[in-house]
Every structure is written in structure tokens, then in C-alpha cells.
Amino acid sequence: MSARTKLLIAGGVILVAIILLLASTFKVKEQEQAILLQFGEPRAVVDKPGLYFKTPFVQNVEYLDKRVLEFYGDSEEVILGDQKRLVVDAFLRYRITDPLQFFQSLGTENVAGTRLKAVLNGSIRQVLGQVPLVTVLSGERAALMRNIRAQVNQNSKGWGIQVIDVRIRRADLPQENSQAIFRRMQTEREREAKEFRAQGEQEAQIIRSRAERERTILLAEAKRDAEIARGQGDGTAARIFADAFKRDPEFFAFFRSLQAYREALKQGDTTLVLSPDSEFFQYFGRAGSTPPGAALK
């Protein structure tokens, strides 16, 4: 046997040994747990990290997650205790506590998600179907979540999992209900707006009436005061004229005649037709004579 042949045989032996070594070992990470299967039947559960051995080509390993897993359900329409409808979108967090039981009852995480979906929806319907809408929207919502979680754990008993949290991400009214509520709110706001406008118009009318009344009173009082002042002025003027007439009647008559001349003989197209011996011109015939009242000086 040549050296080359021996080298090829040795290489083949080493390669087979490596393949057998890899096929006979498996590694478990810190976030994993493994189930050792032999011809599809569970033989052992490994939940500690490390390197382990198995029978090559006879045994295989299924890995499961040790961490907290999340499952998001679909939006479902739920009828509440007061017969109102609500669209609920929820999710839950769970942990695989018994890998062997989980594998025997569910098999994989995908199958677990399908089963949990039905259980979660059923638990939500059962719990929320006993309470009114105001309870879902109030501070009692946390208690409802605990009740749903307990219900899910009860219905998933024997699956090797523990549900540690259930949350409702969104709880909305159905679209048709939302539109009806929106229209009702819009109608209510329009009614309130009309009431406010009517009240404002009424207040404005009251203010305008009050202002008009005060204006009328002020104008009447001002007119009254003006008439009083005018009457007092006329009385004073009459008294002054009377005093002046008493002191020198001739001069007073002359002064009043001059006032009449000034008013009657203004520049313009006014034409007067009077007799020369009219009393209107009585002082014109006295030109050059001593004016009335001169003797008083």
C-alpha cells in the first residue's frame, strides 16, 4: 500500500471521526432548553447550558426558548355585559415551564400560538361579557386583565406554559358606532352653539335697548338743560334790554333801528319798497342833528 493511499485512508478516518463527533454532541445555550428525542420519542430534558452527548443518527434534539415569549392576538369584536360592542386588540406574555409537557401537548411555538389565540379570545369574551362598557374604560381595567390572565391559565392547564401577563392594547367602538357617536356629539355641539348664539343675541339686544334708553334720556336731559339755559339767557337779555330802555328809551329805539337797518340792508338782491315818511327811515331824516343819547355824555 502506497503512502498516498495510507494518507487518504487516514484522512477519511479523521473526517468520519469528526462527523461522528459532531453528530454525537449538541450545545444548549443559556436562553434555551432542549428535549432529547430518540426516533421521535422524548428521552431527556436538558435545561442547563452546556455541551452534551447523544447517539448519532438515532437521537435528535428539539430546542425551546426559556425566555418570556409574546403572542399578539387579532382584533375581535366583543359584546359587553350591557350589550354594547367593543373591538378589542390584546396580547399576552408566557413562559414554557415544562418543556416535555409543552412538546407532547403542543409540539412547536407556532402550534402554541394557534391554540393560545383561541383561548385568549374565549377568555376575553367570557370576562368582558360580564361587565359594562364603563368598567372597561375605568380604573377597574387592571382587575379585568388579571381575571383574563387567570382564565387563560385555567384553560391552558396541561400545556406546560404559564401566562404571566395579559394586556389590552386597544379597545375601540366599531366603526358604525363611532360614526353614530360622532354624529350625536356633533348635533349636541351644534345645539349648544345655537343656544350660546341665542343667549348672546339676547344679551346684545338688552345692552342695545339699555344704551338706546340711556341715549334718549341723555338727549332729553341735554335738550331740557339747553332750553333752560336758553330761557335764562333770553330772560337775562330781556332784562338787560328792559334796563337799557328804562335808562334811555330814545337811545334804545335808535339802537334797535340800527340793528334793523343792518339786518334789512345786507348785501344781496333784496329790494325794499317803503314810503319815504315811513317810521323805518325816521332816523335818516335827522342827519347832522345830535344823535339820541348824546346829551348823556
3-state DSSP assignment of residue 90: strand
**How confident is the model over 159-197, as pLDDT tens digits?**
999 999 998 888 777 766 656 667 778 888 888 898 999
pTM of the model: 0.53
Question: How many beta carbons lie within 10 A of that of residue 92, not counting itself?
Answer: 24
pLDDT at 295: 42
List the chain domain ranges. Answer: 3-65, 69-173, 213-283
Q: DSSP letters along 193-262, please?
A: HHHHHHHHHHHHHHHHHHHHHHHHHHHHHHHHHHHHHHHHHHHHHHHHHHHHHHH-HHHHHHHHHHHHHH
d(CA 171, CA 54): 50
Locate 36 and state its grid cell: 432529547
Number of helical H runs and strand E runs in the chain = 7, 9
d(CA 108, CA 122): 22
CATH of 69-173, one of 1.10.10.10, 3.40.430.10, 3.30.479.30, 2.10.77.10: 3.30.479.30
At position 148, the amino acid (one-letter code) is I
**How confident is the model over 54-106, as pLDDT tens digits?**
888 888 888 888 889 888 888 888 888 888 888 888 889 999 989 889 988 88
Most confident of the ranges 35-44, 147-156, 250-259: 147-156
**How confident is the model over 254-276, as pLDDT tens digits?**
777 777 777 776 666 666 666 66
